[in-house]
Amino acid sequence: MDIVLSEIALRLGVATIAAGAVGLNRDLHGKPIGVRTLGLVGLSAAVVVLLADGGIIHTTMSDATSRVIQGILTGIGFLGAGVIVHHEQGKRIHGLTSAACVWLTACIGIVCGAGQWRIVLVAGVLTSLVLLLGRPIERLFHRFSHHHRNGDSSGTTAADQSDTGPHHPGK
Query: Which tens digits make up the pLDDT trace of 92-142?
Result: 788 888 889 999 999 999 999 888 899 999 999 999 999 999 999 999 999
Could you tell me which residues are beta bridge partners of residue 77? none
Least Cα distance to 101 among 24, 40, 30 occurs for: 40
Determine phi and psi for 90, rounding to 5 degrees. 80, 0
pTM of the model as a whole: 0.71
- Tell me: pLDDT of 72 over 50: yes
Q: What angle do CA 126, 130, 135 make, to 5 degrees?
A: 170
Where are any strands of DSSP class E within 2-161? 85-87, 92-94
d(CA 65, CA 60): 10
Residue 1 — pLDDT band, cuts 50, 70, 90?
Answer: low
* Mean pLDDT estimate for the chain: 80
Predicted pLDDT of residue 131: 93
